[in-house]
Structure 1
């Protein structure tokens, strides 16, 4: 049955990712292999032919399902209308909770839904089409399962499983409230949050994430620590959640005398209740299926039963939703479950020769899941975690009680609120332990090593993981070699190892490669840097500062409050001491200014014209001038810094636009620098006379690869190059580092 699941997965991938000619070529190869098996004179090969026919039929069924579903979405009336971007009135059934999305025009709400009726220019029709809905803040309270009347505009969707994007504003009209099932699930979710309300720390938000995957309020710093330490799976709905909840329910059932077929019924009810509580999105159904496989893998003959169940689950899920085949979450769930079923039993037996059974299983299960998933995780993050197994091992004893107590605290709290608060307090105590494990693991000397995401590098990593899978059994079976492996991993994680050639000797400025945003570090001394801006990804900001060996940030300057300059703020605070935080006088957008205040606490408004020295760094504030207001836009209110460090003059410009640049030219005539941080990621809207007049020998654009804004523009880069500047951009060059010298030298990461 495992081979059947692989065939189903392959059929889905071919249907979704391979063109028509490629699909024909794959089919021809499959038929050729089948004919060779049929005509083979070796009986062992000939006997494979019926199985291969079955696998091909399964793959064809999934591919056909993908084709039919794709055609229904792409060729339907909604998808055909979307390129014309018409204004519409629609009836919408909400199929997901709204999630906040920070965009360039402020916070928006993102949710999924099904259109059931559509009116365009007065002509109404019945439809059935899945759409992505983008609304304003008024949509924050929309309930899953409700039916709405909305007015908005259609646009083409990037996701193939969505017919269109519906953009709307204002309060929608509720035509029908959610069913009693959805209302009941929402009540329990709210009760879980109430049960942990007595806790003050991040565990207050972590318990709902553990129980239902509701991670909306988990602090950025905690999310960063979880990513670095390999515990991110705890923040999303996974098979582990269902295994813990339903497994505990079955134990209670046995204690109450439930036996035989009644246990299967109790387990089925538990699975349905879990899916309702965590929502019926594809990721939740996938997690429920993998959790069911894990439950079937428990007990006698569990491994064989679990492997058969895995094949059935993969095939069933892909027939239900073929688009899962190309999603990362599906790959990680299937691979982790397969690793636990195929590898963990042998490793548990090997470790059991010199460890207690419970300890052997506690080590083998996370090790198997982590090893199998490592190539996929590396492709996503560019890192191979060295602490994930240890962090999961330490967190595992706390996850079960935090999850179970959190759930039952919410359920009991519906009847006896005081008892619910008591259970929630205990769940929060366990969750606080998980937070501590994640933070301690993330702040070790070498929690992860960087790994290239190129195809050859990932292929090499896959081969290394496969080799480890073969070798670990014999190595772990002996006390001496098993202990040596643990000691070696501990030494690598705890003892700092120098990164060859990085950071370059004499570095003074680093423009970090953090995607579409700014994060700059100016070296103030050994282990110290002044950081200017921190966006948009906390993990990337943290990784850049780690590689620069920055342990202390005596001064942090946020030029303005756009998300691409502040949303990675938690990454600066990850394991570092941060001193004063300077900001612009214009607190716009207000929600991001509130976010900054929540992370950084007290801030100081940068004073125009002031000069200060921090270690080796001297900074002068050249903008914004007094009296600047939000009317000119947040970009023009950016803090502009003239920095001198070890004889190198830098101009750090935030996102100032032509009006503010012209004002700088008038206020500071004759200004010249060695290095220019090109304003606004190299946008084409610049005062080129001002930029050329700086006579910078180096110009850097901090920009994300493939961004939607057209940054950086050749209309800006070419004139700067013609004026004598060496132009660098983080999307092509990676992190750009300037070192002291006359002239300054530039070293790039890529």
Structure 2
């Protein structure tokens, strides 16, 4: 076996660390470090041993300098200074991305990235180049167009963008896109037209496979792709390029093209992919990683692929140091490294008893998935058990769907009807891929929850390294490989044992349902009241199945936001449900409509909660404290302030469940119930900063439970809220870090929590 050369990978690691440090530093330090590194390299005559470390130091200084200079260029630009003053400006900018619709309380709006080329503020005009983010009224503007905008600037949370502009009016087009961008936009539009007559899911997936645009994908489908380990198909990634260029190379070989001709075809394919998807950093990253992976699967790439990957990563970090903070870049590097290091050996082992095509189909996704597992767990809090099988099942459809979708778009430029004819098989393939994602996500245990803490990730990384070391020998034996596949199948279909879960004497469980609320109150054997159902039916259904709940006398929906009601079908699935109780404010209308449609379909009555009413179900008794009104003049979110609030009594303790109440409604709750006391507080609105401090501190609660999603976009729970809860003497449990959280009251009335079956 050839000895593994780690010099290049260490170069990439050093460059990555230098980029991270440079983005947190000032350019002066980088400019000072570079000549020092160059001097050390020039002094390599001190000894041959020092040559490689000296080269690493020079490269690190170069990346550090590039990162620090680019960071300073963004932060200290004229746009950045104007944003710090919240100045009102007029700008001329070029759209870097096509406008995407965003949800807003102020009507239809769009979001896009742009590069400012001219800014006017206080009657002073300045020409420059600065990247910004723009929120504007809905408008149809092509990518690459030059537009005029006006509005206030504010600092951006994205360190790569100098400011955020909130435009007062829709973009005014000054000039259309350039020739190349115009041609790319036409092809992208032609691809969408060619598949437009298919269903909403296939017609959205084909463009996602071809050019990485997944904006039209339904949220539920995206979630299923994530659970099934197929998310890489929906974004601009090396997978897209590998499939597209691989398809072109296959056609070229059939046409008799060989040697340098294939190289030329591959180069044209890479350039075409970049132009089609847009020359953005993510696209360039995908082009680099996909090209390396494509070459690395050959015999030459097996010997030198890791070196090319490392040098490619170094060059990308030198050009665009912001990639050092990109999760997508890290996943691309890890997946490519896994394919280069592990897939060839596993493929050879499997080929001793499987056909070559089957061995490669198993080895490549298995290697990529194993390499990415620790990082995926850190991001999502779960480890997929079906990713390899899902990729294996979807794999035969992905390549043809991608190539035929592109071909349909190209033919559609000449004839729309012929383009649709060519692209029709692509929609069939897309439907098959979507079916794989849905079926995989519907399995009893498609993924296992995993902690995102340092120790949990360290254990998982060690476990993955152990598998990487020993799996090759096991795959060479068909009997052992069959046993492993059988055990994995049992784990997916039956589930892994969870000793101690559900715990004895549990009274409340906050289910880990992502960014949303899904709470369960025990009322008797196999029976419970459900308060909110989270955003995902599958997650809610799995939580109830883990708890053994088959009978739900009452479902309380505190308000109609999607993160509280979209999982309702998961509770209704194969369970006896008595009634659904809701808030009196039917806002947003879509959520209210969904609840009534599902309830009508299941034959379950729906009624509105009335403040002051008391209900008793089994061992649980509660009083509705709110809403007493729905008109809060100072409310930023009327549906949140109109949440149903319950004071629950069970097994001698009191639980205050506050829905998504914000400060106005919490203040009124404190005024109406000045002596309100509770042992457990379900913290309002996922721990947002909008808490009434006097209410929280006056409750006398011993335990605070926060239902919140891992790495959510809202910054929940807010640090100020966590400090408030601890200052009030509460123990804090949160579903993003702890998974399912159970509140337990033992026979002596002692209150405790159990997290994943481990008593805390």
**Normalised by the size of structure 1, how large is the TM-score?**
0.83
* Structure 1 residues 203 and 357, CA gap change in structure 2 (3 angstroms): same
1:63-109, Cα deviation, whole Å (9 max, x unpaired): 33223322322332222333222111111111113344557888864
Check whether the contact 2:585–2:642 (CA below 8 A) recurs between aligned residues. yes
- Alpha-carbon shift at residue 125 of structure 1 (Å): 0.8
Judge conservation of contact 1:675–1:698 (CA < 8 Å) in 2. Answer: yes
The 5 Å alignment of 1:331-346 reads: 331-346=330-345
In 2 relative to 1, CA 309–683 (structure 1 residues): closer, same or farther, beyond 3 Å? closer
Worse-superposed segment, 4-13 or 317-326: 4-13
Whole-Å Cα distance in 1 between the matches of residues 553 and 43 of structure 2? 70
Distance 1:397 1:26 in 2: 51
Summarize the Cα distance change of 1:483–1:676 in structure 2 as closer, same or farther, 3 Å threshold.
Answer: closer
Report the CA distance between 1:229 and its aligned residue. 2.3
Instruction: Quickly say closer, same or farther: Cα 1:709–1:463, change in 2 above 3 A.
Output: closer
- TM-aligned CA deviation for residue 199 of structure 1: 3.4
Q: Residues of 1 paired with 2:428 and 2:645: CA distance?
A: 45
- Separation of aligned partners in 2, 1:614 and 1:182: 63
User: 1:738 maps to which residue?
Assistant: 743
**Partner residue of 1:7 out of 11, 15, 22:** 11
Structure 2: runs of 5+ lacking an equivalent: none
In the alignment, the residues of structure 1 paired with residue 223 and residue 645 of structure 2 have an alpha-carbon distance, to the nearest angstrom, of 29
Distance 1:347 1:221, change over 3 A: same
Q: Does 1:17 align with 2:18?
A: no
**Cα 1:217–1:144, aligned 2, differ >3 Å: closer, same or farther?**
same
**Given the alignment of the two structures, is residue 712 of structure 1 paired with residue 724 of structure 2, yes or no?**
no
* Counterpart-to-counterpart distance in 2, 1:187 and 1:604: 49
Task: Work out the CA distance in 1 between the residues paired with 2:695 and 2:364.
Answer: 63
Aligned partners of 1:531, 1:280: CA distance in 2, in Å?
49
- d(CA) in 1 for partners of 2:599 and 2:60? 53
Match of 2:327 in 1: 328
Q: What is the CA–CA distance in structure 1 between the aligned matches of 2:153 and 2:10, rounded to whole Å?
A: 38
Contact 1:533–1:565, Cα closer than 8 Å, also in 2: yes
Q: Is the 8 A contact 1:113 1:132 kept in 2?
A: yes
**How far has the Cα of 1:146 moved from its partner?**
1.4
Deviates more, 1:300-309 or 1:544-553: 544-553
Q: Secondary structure at the match of 2:279?
A: coil
How far off is 1:377 after superposition? Answer: 1.5
Distance 1:347 1:4 in 2: 23
**Aligned partners of 1:458 and 1:597: how far apart in 2?**
42
Cα deviation 1:508-555 (Å, max 9, x = unaligned) = 222346677533223456666543335578898677667656678776
Q: 1:656, CA displacement in angstroms?
A: 3.7
Q: 1:624 aligns with which of 622, 627, 640?
A: 627
Note if 1:394 corresponds to 2:393.
yes
Instruction: Tell me whether 1:114 sits opposite 2:123 in the alignment.
Output: no
| Worse-matched range after superposition: 96-105 or 370-379 | 96-105
**How many angstroms does 1:593 deviate by?**
6.0
673-682 vs 367-376, which deviates more? 673-682
Residue 443 of structure 2 is matched in structure 1 by 444
Query: Distance in 2 between the 1:628 and 1:236 partners?
Result: 42
Output aligned runs, 1:155-234, within 5 Å.
Answer: 155-200=154-199, 202-234=201-233
Note the C-alpha offset of 1:397: 1.5
2:494 matched residue in structure 1: 495
Equivalent residue number for residue 634 of structure 1? 639
- 1:709, CA displacement in angstroms? 5.4
- Deviation of 1:6 (Å): 4.4
Check conservation: 1:112, 1:132, Cα contact below 8 A: yes
C-alpha separation between the residues in 2 aligned to 1:538 and 1:506?
Answer: 26
Are the equivalent residues in 2 in contact too, given 1:15–1:23 (CA < 8 A)?
Answer: no
Compute the displacement of 1:231 (Å).
1.7
Partner SS, residue 376 of structure 2: helix
1:333 CA drift (Å): 0.9
CA positional deviation for 1:126: 0.9
Which ranges of structure 1 fall in alignment gaps of 5 or more residues? 41-45
1:43 is matched with none
Distance in structure 2 (CA, Å) of the matches to 1:5 and 1:202: 40
User: 1:36-66, CA deviations, whole angstroms, 9 ceiling, x for partnerless residues?
Assistant: 99666xxxxx4x6544444444333333322
Distance 2:218 2:459 in 1: 35
Q: In structure 2, what is the Cα distance between the partners aligned to 1:64 and 1:215?
A: 35
Deviations 1:385-434 (A, max 9, x none): 22222222222112222322333333334444444444444333322332
Aligned position for 2:657: 652
**1:206-228, CA deviations, whole angstroms, 9 ceiling, x for partnerless residues?**
33322222222323332222222
CA contact (8 A) 1:703 1:711 kept: no
1:86 correspondence with 2:87? yes
Contact kept, 8 Å, 1:220 with 1:570, in 2: the verdict is no
Deviations 1:478-505 (A, max 9, x none): 2233223223333333333332333322
- Aligned counterparts of 2:88 and 2:321: Cα–Cα separation in 1: 31
Instruction: Flag the 1:690–1:82 CA change in 2: closer, same or farther, 3 A.
Output: closer
Contact 2:663 2:690 in 1 (8 A): no
CA distance 1:543–1:393, shift in 2 (3 Å): same
Question: 1:551·1:575 contact (CA, 8 Å) conserved in 2?
Answer: no
- Give 1:265 shift: 3.4
Tell me the SS of whatever aligns to 2:721.
coil
Contact map agreement 2:568 2:595 (CA 8 A) in 1: no
CA deviation map 1:340-388 (0-9, x unaligned): 1222111111111111111111111111111112222222223232222
Tell whether the 8 Å contact from 2:688 to 2:718 is kept in structure 1 after alignment.
Answer: no
| Distance in 2, Cα, partners of 1:598 & 1:121 | 54
Name 2:363's counterpart in structure 1. Answer: 364
The residue that corresponds to 2:532 in the other structure is: 533
Shift of 1:195: 3.3
C-alpha distance in 1, partners of 2:34/2:62? 13
State how many pairs are aligned. 734
Per-residue CA deviations over 1:295-340 (Å, capped at 9, x if unaligned) read 3235553423644543443233223212212322111111211221
Equivalent pair of 1:5/1:315 in contact (CA under 8 Å): no
- Between the aligned partners of 2:53 and 2:541, the Cα distance in structure 1 is 49
Q: Deviations over 1:693-750 (max 9, x none)?
A: x88776545567964856527668766x6xxxx5645389845422355746230536
Q: Secondary structure at the match of 2:112?
A: strand
- How far apart, in 2, do the equivalents of 1:688 and 1:363 lie? 58
Distance 2:571 2:336 in 1: 31
Equivalent position of 2:252 in the other structure? 253
Q: Cα gap change, 1:481/1:571 in structure 2, threshold over 3 Å: closer, same or farther?
A: farther
Structure 1: how far apart are the matches of 2:141 and 2:597? 26
In structure 2, relative to structure 1, the CA distance for the partners of 1:506 and 1:582 (3 Å cut) is same
Q: Distance in 1 between matches of 2:267 and 2:207?
A: 23
Cα distance in 2 for partners of 1:164, 1:626 equals 39
Matched ranges for 1:238-277 at <5 A: 238-277=237-276
Provide the C-alpha distance between the structure 1 equivalents of 2:411 and 2:742, rounded to a whole number of angstroms. Answer: 57
Distance 1:308 1:697 in 2: 56
Contact 1:239 1:290 in 2 (8 A): yes
CA distance in 2, matches of 1:318, 1:440: 39
Distance 1:20 1:154, change over 3 A: closer
3-state DSSP class of the match of 2:220?
helix
2-side partners of 1:418 and 1:426: how far apart? 14
Conserved? CA contact 2:335–2:367, under 8 Å: yes
| C-alpha spacing 1:13/1:689, structure 2 compared with 1 (3 Å) | closer
Say whether residues 1:509 and 2:511 are aligned partners.
Answer: no
Give 3-state SS (helix, strand or coil) of 1:655's partner: coil
Superposed displacement of residue 654, structure 1: 1.9
